[in-house]
Structure 1
């Protein structure tokens, strides 16, 4: 198929774009770094460990205190399987920075860096994929040609903005747990594959590091499958002498995956999905990967004549592996998270061939949805501040009884600045000047960041009050201390858990400073649970309470009566 923008009689794939130089304007690096920092920090700062990452923190804390083994961590008699690398990073950070930042914030530093590393590695992977000749735009017949590096930077900027805009990254990406390290490891593998044509030793290093990272974070099965997929993707390239280092890296990943799974007893136990599972898969996937999935689907359609091209086949193969793995594991959103970097890379190649109406629809959705969400956050904050509007104020009082609002000037200033910046971005995007390739993702990425900043600054105090175990732990410690002083028992007696899950034990144990029994046969003077532990004649109730935001779960503390 000929084109007025091609030279002579050469043919090109239908999707290969013909662009003007103005379409590859650079996104200012200070603004991009500021956007990434505003996205990363709110989810990690200003809150206690919650149930989502409380168990991981407790394991890191125990390891940092040398209370359990680093290779075989045990928490209150329960073995913690997998996740070695994440626990090592958190425990090491607590030992190194805990005295300065405190154990909670210190444990999160490696995961903040891991999320930042995933963003950076995905950007560089997209840049190197876009540098190949098949991904470059057609040279115009008249006028200056677009520099390959400028085009690749524009694509990479769009990929990073798409990754920031995905809804699934918000919650799972801001937890001090293994999935954030897995995300960085997968991004490292993608970068390594993108470097194979030009920098083979660096490529081998990144691939090996990424596969080892996956194997050491309880995803050995995924590392094994990913290595096999990459063998198929690279194909004949692995048979050449120049790519021997890459073949060794993939072999290392396969061995590491097999070793990790042998240690865990083969943790991959997938099932054949039924109709309900398939329905939930599409329901979860549509919002979890928005807005990456429609752009990725459009890219596959427009580049359908080049699906086996170097810049496309790795991304869609890895994304397909992650999506099918999530489906086989019952729509596990932790595995869904691994599909985001490859989907974002695919989305980047949709931007130069995207129709104006499609980008406008995504922009309008972003403006309406995130502006409305920001308005809701501000209204709820106003209800906490002055008690108006009355209905939201009553809802807050019902969901977080006892919460005392206090004005934080710094949080208010940050929220106002973020809201003003959002308005400026909307005005810029709706202007009539020429926009670069990444223009379509600016509003979505900025809107997600705006909502995250507002929630993390204005709502975080009440959310943390309703979700933390700090008050429960302190009240429990006071009750045990008072009862022990009256009954002449040890200052730090053990607690017997009754119907209490391990995450609750971990968080209550950290905040109370008390230990739960390691054995079912242990004789403890106290029992804590959600029901009566034994006959009333042997125990007496001395305290009951719970988290303000979880009225359905009440904890009961019993003291054993003297024989």
Structure 2
């Protein structure tokens, strides 16, 4: 089947029959790397573990300390699922680099590398897909032809910028969790598929490795479904690569079956009702923006070539991820796996996107991210000098007790990012020819600007309101004081009372105290949202919680000594 850019005899969609050489101008590699670094670092550095990734960090830390098994990890006697690979990476990094970087930053280093790998793998996958004959533009009748590599680089740059611009990648992509490893695995599988026509055995190794990583990160069910999906959409199209593909898919199926049998089959899907469908569209629209409108437009314009090699794997993988998220009740962790294939589909929409569509995306990016940057600066000014008064009052209410201190480095980074945003806007609105990736520059730069400003100007107050550092240290101090008064010998334990495992994990790390539900009869202290029973045997010695968390007050009780006859 011919593509919109081929010379086949079948009817073509109405697209640009050729591209001018200026449309595939190269994006400066140093600038692209700087943009990726500015996107990558905020969120990973400069903050304590929060509730979103606190449980994973606690498991990694206890593994590194030898307090729990690496094969069947438990936390305070409770089994912890979530995939071995992510925990192994974090625990190994803590053991190797924890004494230099600290346990928190050391545990995040593998996930920073995984996010960077996902960016790189997605770029190379898009490059090799765009190098395929069906994806190349027609040769112009007059003028020099476009070099295939130059065109492929322009498409790959647009794909990477689209991936950076997606809103859903911001939060989920900057956590030390299994989702980041799964994202890199999906990107690696896409790269493997793109290499299948020319390098079948290298392709098979990438596909098998990606499926194995999915199986080892509690997504064996997805690896199993993906193996069957790839077998359906790819089998028989490349006779020379059939044996390599068969081997890769077999490894994926076997590893997925083994992992799921060990973890108890993590997939618990159900038929969606109307509310679930409505939430699916509501969550999906913002989570995958701006990739989904571009991907939809690209599929429509390439509708006569949907089975072409550069489109078929991407839309099949994206459809599988979106349907899986729907079946699991709109799980945004699974939505994340749809972003690399959607970004690749978006890249092939850029050559066939009309000027009005690009202008709409650009205007939205300029207005939305400029306004967002203004809000961040105004809130920072309110923290700094107390003006405007209303934002300052809101900050004082949400983070009571927060003491602002000026960080010159963070301020310099924020000023540089804001000035760079202004320079990008001026360049984009200039009256000169722009390459294919021009439509994604403002969106990717705007997301990065907002992320840098929040990660530098707002991070101190966000970390103050979200960390359990002060809570854990206050609990430890109260226990030490009470133990000294009662002349208690030995390491005390805490009996958890109506608090979840994540809260126990974070307080346990910062306090260095052990929660033990199995030994609650011997625990001298109890910490929770209410008094332990029977209440007559306990006395309150401390109360507190995170600043601004009004509904999360915690109470520390000490067991009363039995009265002597």
TM-score, normalization by structure 2: 0.97
Shift of 1:94: 0.3
Contact 2:64 / 2:94 at 8 angstroms: preserved in 1? yes
Contact 1:16 / 1:135 at 8 angstroms: preserved in 2? no
SS in 2 for 1:552: helix
SS in 1 for 2:530: coil
Query: Which runs of no fewer than 5 residues in structure 2 stay unpaired?
Result: none
CA–CA distance in structure 2, aligned partners of residues 462 and 6 of structure 1:
55
Equivalent in the alignment of 2:404: 405
Say if 1:17 and 1:418 are closer, same or farther in 2 by CA, change over 3 A.
farther
Contact 2:82 / 2:178 at 8 angstroms: preserved in 1? no
Query: Which runs of no fewer than 5 residues in structure 1 stay unpaired?
Result: none
CA–CA distance in structure 2, aligned partners of residues 512 and 352 of structure 1:
56
Shift of 1:16: 6.9
Say if 1:17 and 1:126 are closer, same or farther in 2 by CA, change over 3 A.
farther
List aligned pairs for 1:141-540, cutoff 5 A. 141-237=141-237, 240=239, 242-519=241-518, 522-540=521-539
SS in 1 for 2:547: coil
SS in 2 for 1:403: coil
Equivalent in the alignment of 1:87: 87
Shift of 1:403: 0.2
Say if 1:79 and 1:6 are closer, same or farther in 2 by CA, change over 3 A.
closer
Cα offsets for 1:7-55 (capped at 9, x unmatched): 7978655557521110000000000000000000011010000000000
Contact 1:6 / 1:139 at 8 angstroms: preserved in 2? no
CA–CA distance in structure 1, aligned partners of residues 71 and 502 of structure 2:
20
Cα offsets for 1:62-104 (capped at 9, x unmatched): 0000111100001000101241000000000000000100000
Cα offsets for 1:282-333 (capped at 9, x unmatched): 0000000000000000001000000000000100000000000000000000
Equivalent in the alignment of 1:32: 32
CA–CA distance in structure 1, aligned partners of residues 313 and 7 of structure 2:
29
Q: CA RMSD in A?
A: 1.7
Equivalent in the alignment of 2:47: 47
Say if 1:153 and 1:17 are closer, same or farther in 2 by CA, change over 3 A.
farther
CA–CA distance in structure 2, aligned partners of residues 219 and 509 of structure 1:
28
Contact 2:42 / 2:452 at 8 angstroms: preserved in 1? yes
TM-score, normalization by structure 1: 0.98
Contact 2:127 / 2:152 at 8 angstroms: preserved in 1? yes
SS in 1 for 2:337: helix
SS in 1 for 2:535: coil
Contact 2:236 / 2:242 at 8 angstroms: preserved in 1? no
Contact 1:6 / 1:141 at 8 angstroms: preserved in 2? no
Contact 1:543 / 1:557 at 8 angstroms: preserved in 2? yes
Shift of 1:522: 4.0
**Stretch of structure 1 that moved more, 400-409 or 263-272:** 263-272
Q: How many residues align?
A: 561
Cα offsets for 1:399-426 (capped at 9, x unmatched): 0000000000000000000000000000
Contact 1:7 / 1:141 at 8 angstroms: preserved in 2? no
Contact 1:363 / 1:443 at 8 angstroms: preserved in 2? yes
